[in-house]
């Protein structure tokens, strides 16, 4: 099976898709399929990372193109589509989707679309005045004519169905390689860079500093909680994509907690692993998610997690691997007080249950056969 994966950016600073797509493509390749990834580079799209065993096709983006247009991509997409069995689009509202959707229909190649949270209610309604004309122009047609829409969690599939574009929906989760989280590096270098964190227990917020990630109610809950837990420290590890850091730092100073919160900015992969190994729990009270890689990685590292019900992971509650709450200040603070009030042994036991859940449900070795069946199914239907 030859699969063309298309997304806007593989620069690590883009987070989610840029983390999961290389793993998906390289693991499919190891299983015997042939994957190529078409991606933009330059300007806001950054520098694509190399992917083991996978050809990464880099296309220069038009200068300051917010929609993600590339004349080079537009010229080559028809030829690229004719050489593959399936086209898989990752993300919505992209100029690449316009060109790729037209090319797929012209060549009668099946199109799979993964929205990666972008069809969840909060994200779907956000900036609707920009998305509606793009939808009318091309994206709604892509959604209606896709061979299938791919959801990462049942909660996301539910919202896809409610929008009514397409009833052909497959639910397959993102995955991780649990072995990558067994022997984590020490955080000595991080403690040297951020000496105020030494001898403290870490609450880790891992991801972009963005409204969507629940940073504001999460921070407010920490204001209500950390002052009572003197040996706890909040680590905010991620890029300041929307310029919220200055506002948050001012609020932290007003609360007198400047020595209890550390912003690390974007970390290397090695430092992220060290952070996971050093932390005592993950805080991610997102307002909207498809399925968060940060949560999966934290659980693979054996951390208990405090997440919102918008994270589409009811399994956390079902397996007692953490707490699932509404993404508001008081609900987060109540659960945070409970978790930091537990003994270390109880938190570690909770983390072990999360690790067991990852190994049984979210290991790529479990998921890749499902992805292959999805691709084979849409290819066989297209050939009839």
Q: pLDDT tens for residues 324-333?
A: 999 999 999 9
Return the higher-pLDDT residue of 192 and 44. Answer: 192
Q: pLDDT tens for residues 183-197?
A: 999 999 999 999 999
Least confident of 127-131, 272-276, 286-290, 326-330: 127-131
Q: What is the pLDDT of residue 356?
A: 98
Q: Give the CATH number for residue 346.
A: 3.40.50.2000
Residues 109 and 10 reside in one and the same domain: yes
Residues 95 and 108 reside in one and the same domain: yes
Residues 36 and 141 reside in one and the same domain: yes
Residues 186 and 157 reside in one and the same domain: no
Return the higher-pLDDT residue of 355 and 67. Answer: 355
Residues 319 and 357 reside in one and the same domain: yes
Instruction: Mark out the alpha helices in the chain (DSSP H runs).
Output: 16-30, 71-82, 95-107, 121-125, 128-134, 140-145, 154-163, 188-193, 215-226, 245-254, 269-278, 293-300, 315-318, 329-340, 344-361, 364-383
Average pLDDT over residues 300-313: 97
Q: Give yes or no for residue 384 having a pLDDT over 80.
A: no
Q: Give yes or no for residue 251 having a pLDDT over 90.
A: yes
- Mean pLDDT over all residues of the chain? 95
**DSSP letter for each residue of 184-211:** PPPSHHHHHH-GGGTTSEEEEEES---G
Q: Give yes or no for residue 34 having a pLDDT over 80.
A: yes
Average pLDDT over residues 205-217: 95
Q: What is the pLDDT of residue 338?
A: 96
Residues 43 and 115 reside in one and the same domain: yes
Average pLDDT over residues 113-141: 94
Q: What is the pLDDT of residue 229?
A: 67
Residues 334 and 294 reside in one and the same domain: yes
Q: What is the pLDDT of residue 65?
A: 67
Residues 112 and 127 reside in one and the same domain: yes
Q: pLDDT tens for residues 363-379?
A: 999 999 999 999 999 99
Q: Give yes or no for residue 235 having a pLDDT over 70.
A: yes
- Dist. CA 202–CA 122, nearest whole Å: 29
Q: What is the pLDDT of residue 317?
A: 98
Phi, psi (rounded to 5 degrees) for 285: -90, 55
pTM of the model: 0.95
Residues 38 and 93 reside in one and the same domain: yes
Residues 159 and 199 reside in one and the same domain: no
> How many domains are contained in the chain?
2
Average pLDDT over residues 294-313: 98
Q: Give yes or no for residue 182 having a pLDDT over 70.
A: yes
**DSSP letter for each residue of 137-170:** IIIHHHHHH-SEEEESSHHHHHHHHHHTS-S-EE
Neighbours of 314 (CB within 10 A): 13
Q: Which domain holds residue 219?
A: 178-361
Q: What is the pLDDT of residue 118?
A: 96
pLDDT band at 215 (very low <50, low <70, confident <90, very high): very high
Q: pLDDT tens for residues 339-348?
A: 999 999 999 9
Burial of 354 (0-12, 13-18, 19+ CB in 10 A): buried
Q: What is the pLDDT of residue 227?
A: 66
SS3 label, residue 255: coil
Least confident of 29-43, 62-76, 201-215, 367-381: 62-76
Q: Which of 148-157, 219-228, 230-239 has the highest mean pLDDT?
A: 148-157
Residues 105 and 197 reside in one and the same domain: no
Dihedral sign for Cα 198, 204, 207, 210, please.
negative
Residues 341 and 241 reside in one and the same domain: yes
Average pLDDT over residues 281-304: 97
């Amino acid at each position: 099976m030859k699969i063309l994966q298309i997304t806007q950016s593989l620069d690590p600073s883009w987070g989610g898709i840029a983390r999961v797509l290389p793993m998906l493509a390289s693991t499919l390749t190891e299983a015997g399929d042939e994957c190529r990834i078409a991606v933009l580079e330059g300007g806001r799209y950054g520098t694509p990372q190399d992917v083991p065993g996978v050809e990464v096709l880099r296309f220069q983006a038009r200068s300051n193109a917010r929609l993600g247009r590339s004349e080079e991509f537009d010229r080559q997409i028809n030829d690229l589509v004719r050489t593959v069995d399936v086209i898989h689009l990752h993300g919505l509202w992209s100029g690449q989707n316009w060109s790729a959707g037209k090319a797929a229909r012209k060549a009668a190649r099946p199109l799979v679309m993964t929205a990666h949270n972008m069809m969840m209610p909060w994200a779907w309604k956000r900036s609707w005045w920009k998305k509606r004309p793009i939808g009318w122009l091309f994206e709604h047609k892509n959604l209606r004519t896709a061979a299938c829409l791919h959801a990462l969690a049942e909660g996301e599939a539910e919202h896809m169905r409610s929008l009514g574009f397409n009833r052909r929906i497959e639910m397959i989760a993102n995955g991780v390689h649990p072995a990558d989280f067994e022997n984590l590096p020490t955080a000595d270098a991080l403690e040297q860079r951020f000496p105020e964190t030494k001898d403290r227990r870490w609450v880790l917020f891992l991801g972009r500093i963005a409204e969507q990630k629940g940073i504001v109610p999460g921070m407010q809950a920490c204001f209500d909680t950390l002052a009572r837990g003197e040996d706890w420290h909040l680590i905010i590890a991620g890029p300041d994509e929307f310029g919220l850091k200055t506002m948050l730092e001012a609020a932290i100073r007003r609360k007198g907690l400047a020595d209890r919160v550390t912003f690390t900015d974007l970390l290397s992969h090695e430092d992220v692993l060290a952070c996971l190994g050093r932390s005592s729990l993950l805080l991610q009270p997102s307002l909207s998610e498809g399925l968060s890689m940060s949560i999966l990685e934290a659980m693979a590292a054996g951390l208990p997690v405090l997440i919102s019900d918008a994270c589409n992971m009811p399994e956390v509650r079902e397996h007692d691997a953490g707490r699932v709450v509404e993404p508001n200040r008081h609900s987060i603070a109540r659960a945070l007080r409970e978790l930091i009030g537990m003994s270390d042994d109880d938190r570690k036991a909770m983390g072990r249950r999360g690790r067991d859940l990852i190994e049984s449900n979210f290991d790529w070795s479990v998921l890749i056969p499902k992805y292959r069946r999805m691709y084979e199914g849409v290819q066989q239907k297209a050939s009839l």
